[in-house]
Chains A and B, each alone.
Chain A
Amino acid sequence: NAGVMQNPRHLVRRRGQEARLRCSPMKGHSHVYWYRQLPEEGLKFMVYLQKENIIDESGMPKERFSAEFPKEGPSILRIQQVVRGDSAAYFCASSLNREPQETQYFGPGTRLLVL
């Protein structure tokens, strides 16, 4: 059973470009979470999605960031008009069912560098 898959693993963008990060949850998992890790810091929650629904986006920046988890295909975290401060590691996690205490399993992350 493959784990959480993220691609690309590394992404370089120039200021003003768009960054698109993909996450495929573990097989059978329908809950996806995105976290951001800035250098020398712990992970910060961004958004929680179920298929076709955003459940909790309280950690998402108000502008330029969006996320989706369509009925088919991976979850996408999109960052428009990237700035240097967006440089970070972005981790996706997934869980199996609707119970809040369900374990979240993390992917290897996408490391975004904005030049």
Chain B
Amino acid sequence: AQSVTQLDSHVSVSEGTPVLLRCNYSSSYSPSLFWYVQHPNKGLQLLLKYTSAATLVKGINGFEAEFKKSETSFHLTKPSAHMSDAAEYFCVVRTSSGSARQLTFGSGTQLTVLP
């Protein structure tokens, strides 16, 4: 079964500094991986997805993630944080069980951006 582990439950950065949100996955084959963002009391917005094409995936709002099979990682990065980036971020893997359409979510990383 597929799973994801988000290594940090909270990350704080200063505005204008780089963002790194870490995610490791577990899968018996090449997975489909996603990052979603959730702003307070809002729904989830897809930031980016990896589906076995290019290993460096560019998403919206300047975010990108690199799929590293050797490290089983899919870390999310952004060169320069904005105040509007403050939100909860979920690393997600599509599972192979059942209908192969279930998304399995990590426990989330709360990003705080300090002025």
Q: Among residues 73 to 115 in chain A, which have CB atoms less than 8 Å away from a CB atom of chain B? A: 91, 93, 95, 100-101, 103-109, 111
A55 to B90, CA, bound (A): 25
Interface residues on B, range: 20 to 34
State whether A106 touches B36 (Cβ < 8 A).
yes
User: Which one of A13-21, A41-49, A61-69 is at the B interface?
Assistant: A41-49
Q: Tell me the smallest distance from the CB of B107 to a CB of chain A, in Å.
A: 5
From DSSP, what is the main secondary structure of chain A's interface residues? Answer: strand
Contact status B105-A44, CB under 8 Å:
yes
Residues 1-39 of chain A, each 1 if its beta carbon lies under 8 Å from chain B, else 0: 000101000000000000000000000000101010000
Task: Tell me if A56 counts as interface (CB < 8 A to partner B).
Answer: yes
Q: A59 within 8 Å of B by Cβ?
A: yes
Task: Enumerate chain A interface residues (CB-CB to B < 8 A).
Answer: 4, 6, 31, 33, 35, 41-45, 48, 55-56, 58-59, 91, 93, 95, 100-101, 103-109, 111
